[in-house]
Structure 1
Amino acid sequence: MSGICRILGMGPGDPELLTLKAVRLLSQADRVAWFAACGRPGHARVIADAHIPASAEELRFDYPFTTGVPVEDPRYLLEMGAFYDDCAQRLGEALDCGEQVALLCEGDPFLYGSAMYLFDRLSPKHRCEIVPGISGMSGCWSAAHLPMVHGDDVLSVLPATLDEDSLAAWLSKGDAHVIMKLGRNFTKVQSALRRAGRHDKAVYVERGTQSGQVCLPLGQAPEKAPYFSMILVPGRRRAR
């Protein structure tokens, strides 16, 4: 028997932004899996709540840590690798039994999504299908009514985990920028934006498309940024 793993993009947060295809395939699942931080409900699971069939077995994957261990720490790759190996093994056992597995991923699965690490492990031996989702950045710039690129503008997507010099260098290039993974990096990112001369045009978006959404000029942003937040720097600086 051969099952199939369908990795479903859940979109940026608003359940109405789920695709029809994701909803249809989710309704057919024998097993539904998702990632979550310990003690949290799991954002992708919350988005999908109304569409998970009552007959489906649910499988929750709790991260061993989220921001507690920096990426450069040798433990990070070791422990996260073991975590993804275990998750893939558990899904692989279900697929070997012929199950249809839905793996939920917030935003788009292949844009900083944890699901891609299971895809890497499962796809050599099992059938996988990817259903794209509206990305978090798309949800945020739409929520902020902020046109980002036009004509031949260049857009860069930057993880805030880069060091300040690298951030400032990237922000000095290109036209439009999306900065993700703020959290503890928020102050560093603002400093890099000032160095690159882009701070005044930057927009802070928190929980875009979700309840409690906040969209503000960066200069008016709160002192701390939660996980679901990002900074947008629009392009459109040339004639159009």
Structure 2
Amino acid sequence: MTGRLYGVGLGPGDPSLLTVRAAELIGKADVVAYHSARHGRSIARSIADRYLTGGQIEEKLVYPITVETTDHPGGYRGALDDFYEEASARLAAHLDAGRDVVVLAEGDPLFYGSYQHMHKRLAHRYPTEVVPGVTSVSAAAARLGTALVEAEETLTIIPGTLPEEELTARLASADSAVIMKLGRTFPAVRRALERAGRLADAQYVERAFMDGERTLPLAEVDADSVPYFSVAVLPSKVAPLDAAEPEPDGPGEVVVVGTGPAGPLWLTPEARGALAAATDLVGYTTYLDRVPVRPGQLRHGSDNKVEAERAEFALDLARRGRRVAVVSSGDPGVFAMATAVLEAAGADPYRSVPVRVLPGMTAAHAAASRAGAPLGHDYAVVSLSDRLKPWTVIAERLRAAAAADLVLALYNPGSKSRTTQVGLARDLMLEYRAADTPVVMARDVGGPTERVRTVRLADLDPAQVDMRTLLLIGSSQTRLVQRDDGTEVVWTPRRYPED
């Protein structure tokens, strides 16, 4: 009979934070294995020391390298893979001999732990039990005395070894976060926090529940003093009950945020972060409803026809020190709120209010992706709404685009009060395009009632088009192809025939 393999979590460093199960198994094991660096000292063994009986076989698994510089033919990863193979073979010999083997793991065995490499190589061959341990994440929160997440907040765990751009994106979009594996990655992590606008909130925890423990605001940390056993924490944004309303510490700002055509899947990390960081959200009520409610954040909804008033309201809030996100669907610079905000910001008394515009997925691009690639060549974007410009101007632009043989993306094609524009546009385009020109009718792309279909230009029925529909009218080169699975794909070649 073979022995049993145990992956035993030791917690963050204090021996008294082991579970009862972990202490029992360490005391009963035939073999106790632990990883160490080449200097021979093992933090895992030092944590478990009081539970060892002295009669067990100890297997010290010494890493061949501690930095990513090696002359191994397979590089750093190859050197480690060879080490894990050799280490697991040593443990397998004990298991085959009927000995129970406990592999010690700091924190939790399956949370960025060295044990997991033994587990992947041995657990399918031998009876195995994993004993969880208190993670460094929980230890850090306990030492800070602050909640990590509350209510509907989410927690993101991020390794500091990610590229700086990726770190920045993850931090910008996170509610709460813990960044692991600092040490030499600390300078990049600090820069990423600063670029994401999260540095002021970040806390630093070093050696939680171990000798030399240290906690302080991350912005105050000397990069040369940061060990591997440290984490950065962005705690919950929900204020404690006794927290006073923060006083404005200077001029606020307005960020015009593009949320894409529908729900959170279309939201960029940068936009998600700006929405989370705002003290106030301003926007058309329908669009505000797409943004999760956050405790302490004020929401100011309004009707869709008061863009100028909405822009001035947002700027006035920012002038009083508030961080304001103006919520706009799609891309805020395409028939949306960026123009209204910038127009108001260019006049007194708002000239000094900082304004940023964050892009979003446009409705045209979202619709095109569902149909194939109808915007693969030159195209024009036109709004059919005559609320802010006369129909004569719209018709002029449609004729110019049609004469230039451009694919057309038509926004705001119809509504309850505007019922003639689609038919007029169709008849105008038929003067320049063949009757069988593909027209993509995309309604509520990304939403619960999404419907995307392709019709011939001559068959375009205005009664089937409403304000939530976007039309893509092909050029003379646009193709409609039926694939073997029965689906239709619309695409416009990138090459254009010479005269």
TM-score, length-scaled by structure 2: 0.47
Identify the range of structure 1 (83-92 vs 145-154) with the bigger mean alpha-carbon deviation. Answer: 145-154
Identify the range of structure 1 (141-150 vs 3-12) with the bigger mean alpha-carbon deviation. Answer: 141-150
Shift of 1:74: 4.9
Question: What is the CA deviation profile of residues 65-98 of structure 1, one whole-angstrom value per residue up to 9, with x for unaligned ones?
Answer: 123449xx95122111110000100000000010
Question: What is the CA deviation profile of residues 141-161 of structure 1, one whole-angstrom value per residue up to 9, with x for unaligned ones?
Answer: 111212110011111111111
Aligned residue type for 1:165: E
Aligned to 1:33, what secondary structure does the other structure show? strand
TM-score, length-scaled by structure 1: 0.96
Question: What is the CA deviation profile of residues 37-88 of structure 1, one whole-angstrom value per residue up to 9, with x for unaligned ones?
Answer: 1114111101000001211010101111123449xx9512211111000010
Cα separation, 2, equivalents of 1:179 and 1:40: 27
Q: How does 1:206-217 map to 2 (within 5 A)?
A: 206-217=206-217
Aligned residue type for 1:158: I
Question: What is the CA deviation profile of residues 124-167 of structure 1, one whole-angstrom value per residue up to 9, with x for unaligned ones?
Answer: 21111100000011111111212110011111111111111000
Cα separation, 1, equivalents of 2:231 and 2:127: 34
Aligned residue type for 2:89: Q
Aligned to 1:130, what secondary structure does the other structure show? strand
Aligned residue type for 1:2: T
Aligned residue type for 2:227: P
Alpha carbons of 1:74 and 1:233: their partners in 2 closer, same or farther (altered >3 Å)? farther
Aligned residue type for 1:22: A
Aligned-residue identity in percent: 38
Cα separation, 1, equivalents of 2:3 and 2:40: 29
CA contact 2:3–2:98 (8 Å) conserved in 1: yes
Which position in structure 1 is the counterpart of 2:320?
A: none
Aligned to 2:223, what secondary structure does the other structure show? coil
Q: How does 1:131-146 map to 2 (within 5 A)?
A: 131-146=131-146
1:49 to 2:85 alignment? no
Shift of 1:106: 0.2
Which position in structure 1 is the counterpart of 2:113?
A: 113
Cα separation, 1, equivalents of 2:68 and 2:166: 23
Which position in structure 2 is the counterpart of 1:124?
A: 124
Tell me how large the CA RMSD over aligned residues is.
Answer: 1.4
Question: What is the CA deviation profile of residues 172-225 of structure 1, one whole-angstrom value per residue up to 9, with x for unaligned ones?
Answer: 112001001111111111000001010000001110111111000112212221
CA contact 1:30–1:56 (8 Å) conserved in 2: yes
Which position in structure 2 is the counterpart of 1:227?
A: 228
Aligned residue type for 1:24: E
Cα separation, 2, equivalents of 1:196 and 1:227: 23
Cα separation, 1, equivalents of 2:74 and 2:208: 33
Aligned to 1:157, what secondary structure does the other structure show? strand
Structure 1 gaps, min length 5: none
Cα separation, 1, equivalents of 2:69 and 2:17: 32
1:93 to 2:149 alignment? no
Higher-RCO chain (CA-CA 8 Å, sequence separation at least 6) = 1
Aligned residue type for 1:163: P
CA contact 2:40–2:62 (8 Å) conserved in 1: no
CA contact 1:153–1:174 (8 Å) conserved in 2: no
Bigger Rg, which one: 2
Cα separation, 1, equivalents of 2:205 and 2:162: 20
Which position in structure 2 is the counterpart of 1:239?
A: 295
Cα separation, 2, equivalents of 1:126 and 1:116: 15
Aligned to 2:173, what secondary structure does the other structure show? coil
